[in-house]
Amino acid sequence: MKHTISVLVENEFGVLSRISGLFSGRGFNIESLSVAPTIDSALSRMTLVTRGDDQILEQITKQLNKLISTIKVVDFTDGEYIERELALIKVATDAESRAEALRIVDIFRAKVIDVTPKSYTIEITGAPAKINGILELLRPMGIKEVVRSGPVVIGRGAKGVVG
Amino acid sequence: MGLTGSQILLESLTLEGVDTVFGYPGGAVINIYDDLYESSINHVLTRHEQAAVHAADGYARCTGKVGVAIATSGPGATNTVTGIATAYMDSIPMVVITGQVPTPLIGNDAFQEADMCGITRPCTKHNFLVKDIRDLAKTIKEAFYIARTGRPGPVLIDLPKDIQVATHKFSYPDKVNLRGYKPTYSGNIRQIEKAAKMILAARKPVLYVGGGITLSGADDVLLKLAEQTQIPVTTTLMAMAAFPQRHPLALGMLGMHGTFSANMSVTECDLLIAVGSRFDDRVTGRIDSFAEKAKVIHVDIDPTSIGKNVGVDLPIVGDLKDVLGKLQGCLGKKAELVEDLVEATKEWRTMIDEWKERHPMTYRSSKSVIKPQYVIEKISELSDENAIVTTEVGQHQMWAAQFFTFRQPKTFLTSGGLGTMGFGLPSALGAQVAYPDRQVIDISGDGSFQMNSQELATLVQYNLPVKIVILNNNYLGMVRQWQQMFFEKRYSQTVMELPIDFIKLAEAYGATGLQATKVDDVESTIKQALEIPGPVLMNFKVSREENVLPMVPAGKAIHEMVLAS
Ligand SMILES: Cc1ncc(C[n+]2csc(CCOP(=O)(O)OP(=O)(O)O)c2C)c(N)n1
Ligand SMILES: [Mg+2]
């Protein structure tokens, strides 16, 4: 089963390698990972997506917690949360397909952020499924490049996850 | 007025109560060594950095203090890795200080540069690269704190040369504040009450005890709990000395080379109480048959150990001393029920005694050739009550665990988790430095001994009277045994074709060498060695193709043992 986990870590030298090394060293799967400092610049927040059965997930969260640099681990899977991912997509266009491309961009509330005679670069945010959706529709035109940020998540409601 | 980084290091070590360090100098630590020249800290110069770390490890295992080792950058530092990994697998408190190239050169492939934080990340509890002199004292404080608290482990401090010479005002913090590191010491009382209930309801309970018991200093509490409840105790390799092996409740070691009674007890029990043990594959054999009929209580300070390999009915996270103490308290309040338990489990103990009698730990003795097991029995018999035994890795290690009657905690130092050949001699060295007046005996194989034999020099230089026992079968015996049993006796690269004259080797270093080739020589050789005041190497020519039995073949359940005939 897929799990989305937030990890609050000390924003210090080598911390990313501690986390990624833990996953590779113990054979845990890692589908995506995004990292950036939080409002407290001494902390970084990682969001990672992983897969595994309950026993593996229990090990993953325990092992993450065990790292000295880890301050908090939250597995969002069981609760209510909002998930967003950013994608930048470069799609090939010609006279024939430009109107169709714009229609798709419109439907998905995406944005064209760069234009050349032969291409559009599209920015889209949303749940990963939405990004998969637009990619599916753009694919016939010829996708030249895709950059996805990997999802970030935040819990619903008034309570925040802090260190 | 400030101190230099290297002075801050030594001052901090002193404040941490460190009086002895093991190490080896080089360019990137030359400033530290210059300050050591007139320091009150005792430095032991080993002949290899791996040995320095094993020595610090041995020192830590027998004292419970944090062991400290120092090495230079690059090759000196990479030489420490096996030692660090050994300590990590067995949760030994240790701080290793490595020199590093000056900070402006880091990442430049500078002379003798190695990324030690990168290399040791998976085999340290934590590691630090000190990039600013202002962080140094705080880093050392944190390193010692992390090494000795919670589930202990090795911590590496990588100290660039420019930080060693920079100066800063010295003030040693009296507290650490690590918001990501708060080990749980106190066991949850409700869980402990549940455990007491499960124990009182059990009819076939067994205590399965691992190295954590000694790390927590809970050996005494364990003994009291076992006696209070009359629950039999099986110990892992790491815990053989944690429970007096001549006690009627002692079942000996369990697992691949465990006793018949221990493995049968675990297979048949209805309650397995795992304390400070981690269900290692060498213990469990085929995992789905391990303690199949039992409810499992698992007590450990490290939550990741619980539920990792085996499902647990009742997890308790906490320091064993705290948890077992509280458990004893709970049971103490129910004296009558405990009496009932003792009565109701009588049959179980009778059954176990029958297993013990039917298949005791045994071997076929001989009058014509020295049996390695016999040598161990004799050493056990002739050595002091508080003698410290270390081992290398191989058949001799298993025979030591099987045939030495351990009597006091912290007297059996062996590389359990990593299984490091070459551990025994340097760890004996470290133990002898810690206890100059106790007997320290390294039980060794002819193969393993050659992995750190250079430490004979250290023994002689510091007059450390370690007694080395080589059970010489002229084989990498443990591997040979597997080749015999599972590879049709194809002894690929396990015959030690060059017979070494170990006596001459010992003498070359200025130690004493003794040889025993006949059964009748065994006792006198050991006695003689124990009387000689300096280091002695005893070379016992033992029966060459002896096997370690019982044995659970890989992939089998632990009750499917090949037994000694
Ligand atoms: C550093 C290291 N290399 C290889 C091994 C694999 N190994 C385990 S036991 C063993 C043989 C040890 O031979 P010896 O020291 O003579 O002991 P014996 O088994 O003969 O008693 C080997 C090679 C190991 N455990 N450690
Ligand atoms: Mg051998």
For chain B (length 565 residues), average pLDDT per consecutive 10?
Answer: 94 98 98 97 98 98 98 98 98 98 97 98 98 98 98 98 98 96 97 98 98 98 98 98 98 98 98 97 96 98 95 97 98 97 98 97 96 98 98 98 98 98 98 98 98 98 98 98 97 94 98 98 98 98 98 95 88
Quick one: which ligand is closest to B444's CA? 1
pLDDT of residue B1: 67
Give the single-character DSSP code of B544. Answer: T
Q: Please say whether the beta carbons of B422 and B473 come within 8 A.
A: no
| Nearest to B470, CA basis, from B440, B448, B439 | B448
Decide if pLDDT at A78 tops 90: no
**pLDDT score recorded for residue B327:** 98
Is B178 part of the contact surface with chain A (CB cutoff 8 Å)? yes
- Encoded tokens for A45: 């927040």
Q: Which of residues 45-84 of A touch B (CB under 8 A)?
A: 55, 58-59, 62-63, 65-71
Cβ contact, residue pair A13, B129, below 8 Å:
yes
Active site includes B321? no
pLDDT at A151: 96
Query: In chain A, where does DSSP find H-type helix?
Result: 15-25, 54-66, 98-107, 128-138
Q: Which residue has the tokens 């295992």?
A: B61
Question: Residue A39: what pLDDT?
Answer: 94
Can you tell me the mean pLDDT for A7-30? 95
Q: Does B126 touch chain A (CB under 8 A)?
A: yes
| pTM score above 0.90 | yes
Nearest ligand 1 atom, CA B446: 16
The secondary structure element, H or E, covering residue B197 is helix B189-201
Contact call for A62 and B121, based on CB within 8 A: no
Report the residue from A10, A25, A62 with minimal CB separation from B122.
A25
- Chain A contact present for B107, CB below 8 A: no
Distances, alpha carbon B344 to alpha carbons A148, B175, B227, B295, in Å: 65, 50, 15, 18
> Which residue in chain A has the smallest CA separation from B307?
A55
Question: Are B222 and B518 contacting, i.e. CB atoms less than 8 angstroms apart?
Answer: no
pLDDT value at position A13?
87
C-alpha distance from residue A114 to each of A90, A93, A147 (Å): 9, 12, 14
CA of B472 to the centre of ligand 2 (A): 5
Nearest CA in chain B to A10: B180
The token pair at A114 is: 């760069």
The rounded Å distance from CA B497 to ligand 2 centre is 12
Query: Is residue A126's pLDDT more than 80?
Result: yes
CA-closest candidate to residue A11, choices A19, A22, A2, A1: A19
Cα A61 from Cα A64, distance rounded (Å): 5
**By the CB < 8 Å criterion, does B288 face chain A?**
no
Locate B458 and state its tokens: 């250290």
Give the residue on B whose Cα is nearest the Cα of A63.
Answer: B304
Return d(Cα A7, Cα A22) in angstroms, integer. Answer: 13
For the cut 70, the answer to whether the pLDDT of residue A111 exceeds it is: yes
**For the residues A137-156, what does the mean pLDDT come to?**
96
Nearest residue, CB atoms, A18 vs list B121, B307, B308: B121
Is A11 an interface residue toward B (CB < 8 Å)? Answer: no
Q: Which of B16, B49, B113, B377 is catalytic?
A: B49
Ligand 1 binding pocket, CB closer than 6 Å: B 392-396, 419-422, 445-448, 471, 473, 475-479
For residue B471, give the ligand 1 atom closest to its CA: 21
Of A9, A62, A163, Cβ closest to residue B304: A62
Contacts of A125 (CB under 8 A, 6+ apart): A84, A85, A86, A87
Contacts B180 to A, Cβ<8 Å: 9-10, 67-71
Phi, then psi, of B534 in degrees rounded to 5: -100, -170
Q: Which atom of ligand 1 is nearest to the CA of B393?
A: 9
Which residues are placed with Cβ below 5 angstroms of ligand 2, an ion?
B 445-447, 473, 475, 477
Phi-psi region of B192 (alpha: psi -120 to 50; beta: other; left: phi over 0): alpha
Q: Report whether B506 contacts B513 (CB < 8 A).
A: yes
Q: Does B180 touch chain A (CB under 8 A)?
A: yes
Strand pairing of B154-160 and B94-100?
parallel
The shortest CB-CB distance from B304 to any of A9, A66, A70 is to: A66
Please state the φ and ψ torsions of residue B359, each to the nearest 5 degrees: -130, 75
Q: What's the pLDDT score for residue A162? A: 81
- Report how far ligand 2's centroid is from the alpha carbon of B259 (Å): 23
Distance B398 CA to ligand 2 centre (A): 12
